[in-house]
Amino acid sequence: MEILIGIVVIALIVVAFIWLTYNQLVTLRERIAEALSSIDVQLKRRMDLIPNLVNTVKGYAKHEKQLLENVTNARAQLMKAKSPEQKAQANNMLTDTLKSLFAVAEAYPDLKASANFSKLQDELTDTEDKISYSRQFYNSNVLSFNTKIKMFPSNLIAGQFNFKEQEFFEAEPSSKDPVKVSF
Amino acid sequence: MNIYGQIASNKRKTIFLIFGFLVFAIVFGYIISLFFDFGLLGLGIFLVIFGIITYVSYYNSDKMVLSLSHAKPVKKEDYPQLYNIVENLSIGLGQAMPKIYVIEDGGMNAFATGRDPLHSAVAATTGLLQALDKQELEGVMAHELSHVRNYDIRLLSLVTVLAGSIAIISDFFLRSLLWGGSDRKSNGILIVIALVAAILAPIAAGLIQLSVSRNREYLADASGALLTRYPEGLASALEKISKHPKLKHATHANAHMFIESPFGEKAKDFFSNLYSTHPSATERIKRLRAM
């Protein structure tokens, strides 16, 4: 009789543990999805600003055709990107091309003086800040999820129910290189 | 100690302090009810009154603090930089954006209040907004939002009203002693204990309140730096703030809520250090630069 009660108690503890851990893992994974969608909101805002920027720059700097094309291409890449890794990569490319664009803009005093241009520049800078903060929030969520599915004993449950490690949204490695500006 | 270690150790201290506060309230209530010969019923009544006062003031604490400091709500158009910074940091924390208030005052200071991230507010003085650059202001606001995120604002509101409730009840007790104490037949030792307890209670409650707030400042500095990944921003902001933190409308009721004591820094002997609401700016800057 006592053995039976013992077995039942142990079984209940195991079931409760599986139940709780499974729900925790689901919660953490949903948080990652939510954080990713908040990055998407900011990425979309950035993409919406770019056609406007390209048109403004075109009006003042007709010779920078190649540069403007790079920006447009990078934007198109970002629109196509699906996974967090692709998005991060495309976003970094876009950041690089924008940097060169703003560097070149220094050579056009009329462009720099344009109110429209400086407003767009401010908004893009702010969006970039927002992207980096939402990326930070996303990555901290990924970190806690990935830690959880690797740690004992929750790794047993994660393996059993096929919870996979999630990708980080990487900060750009290329930002350490100096920006190449070709006139 | 790294940032994560500092956060963990401060959280342990906080739990310990809240527990101490509760024990303290029960012991204090028990001594009072012993004195009046009410027994356990007296303790029960004491705790109920204590609970009601605390509950009502807890839900109104943010409004009281904001109006005490003469803070006015602002829109994005009025202070776009401040608004953007608070918005960005809230994104970084993944929490709702607090309401933003500005205090018309040349002194440099800021605080956060409320009871949870959904019911929270941050306030900054106009002096602060003028003197700091973007990274410094970001550091200060990250510090304030950390108070919100870590539920310090809830803790501070709670501790403030708990200390306030104890002060009200002990005041009431002392008065009733003055008016009707003489015809009681309780024994002398109890009277002495009760008197000492009634006098010490508000002082001890105040001390607990202060020690909570000082640990919390270090924790908010640490988690703010973790959010901006740039401890130097807050460090250099604190250097500027510590020169002019004084405010026109500072009261002892809300002093512990500001990023730097709104009375300015006083002499650093043991007693004033025990009673000051904030750790010295020099010490905080030192810790930030060591991160």
Residue A100 has pLDDT above 80, yes or no: yes
Q: Note the ipTM here.
A: 0.75
Say whether residue A114 is in contact with chain B using an 8 A CB cutoff.
Answer: no
Tokens of A128: 């970039």
CA distance B283 to A62: 56
Name residue, tokens 């920078």. Answer: A64
**Residue in A32, A137, A141 to test binding to B, most B beta-carbons within 10 Å:** A137
State the pLDDT at residue B149. Answer: 83
Answer with the residue of higher pLDDT: A95 or B180: A95
Answer with the residue of higher pLDDT: B213 or A48: A48
Answer with the residue of higher pLDDT: B102 or B94: B102
What three-state secondary structure class fits A32? helix
Q: Which helix (H) or strand (E) holds B32?
A: helix B3-35
Distances (CA, A) of B227 to A140, B83, B143: 11, 17, 9
Residue A140 lies in a domain: yes
Provide the number of structural domains found in chain A.
1
Pick the range with the lowest mean pLDDT from A91-95, A169-173, B2-6.
B2-6
Contact yes or no for A38 and B91 at CB 8 A: yes
Question: Which residue type is seen at A131?
Answer: I
| pLDDT band for position A19 (cuts 50, 70, 90) | very high
Taking CB atoms and an 8 Å cutoff, what residues of chain B touch A136?
92, 227, 229
CA neighbours within 13 Å on the CB side: how many for A32?
Answer: 23
Mean pLDDT over residues B159-164, rounded?
70
CA distance B159 to B209: 6
Q: Work out the widest C-alpha separation in chain B, in whole angstroms.
A: 68
CA distance B185 to A44: 78
Pick the range with the lowest mean pLDDT from A9-23, A55-69, B50-64, B234-248.
B50-64
Phi-psi sector, B37: left (phi>0), alpha (psi -120 to 50), beta: left
Most confident among A131-140, B193-202, B211-220, B270-279 (mean pLDDT): A131-140
> What are the structural domain ranges in chain B?
3-289
A136: nearest CB among B84, B87, B92? B92
In Å, how far from its chain's centre is CA B34? 32
Say whether residue B94 is in contact with chain A using an 8 A CB cutoff.
Answer: yes
Q: What is the CATH number of the domain that holds A106?
A: 1.20.1440.20
Active site residue B217: no
Question: Which residue type is seen at A56?
Answer: T
| pLDDT band for position B103 (cuts 50, 70, 90) | very high
Q: What is the pLDDT of residues B222-277, one digit of tens each?
A: 888 888 988 999 999 999 988 877 777 766 556 667 888 777 654 344 444 555 66
Q: What is the pLDDT of residues A131-168, one digit of tens each?
A: 989 999 999 899 989 998 898 888 888 888 888 888 88
Say whether residue A166 is in contact with chain B using an 8 A CB cutoff.
Answer: no
Residue A182 lies in a domain: no
How many CB atoms neighbour CB B242 within 10 A?
19
Taking CB atoms and an 8 Å cutoff, what residues of chain A touch B94?
31, 35, 38, 137, 141
State the pLDDT at residue A174. Answer: 46
Instruction: Please list, in sequence order, all residues whose beta carbon lies within 8 angstroms of the beta carbon of residue A101, skipping any fewer than 6 positions away.
Output: A53, A57, A64, A67, A68, A71
Structural domain for A152, as ranges: 2-176
Do B70 and A109 form a contact (C-beta atoms < 8 A)?
Answer: no
| pLDDT band for position A22 (cuts 50, 70, 90) | very high
Alpha helices in chain A (DSSP H): 2-60, 65-80, 84-105, 109-113, 115-150, 154-160
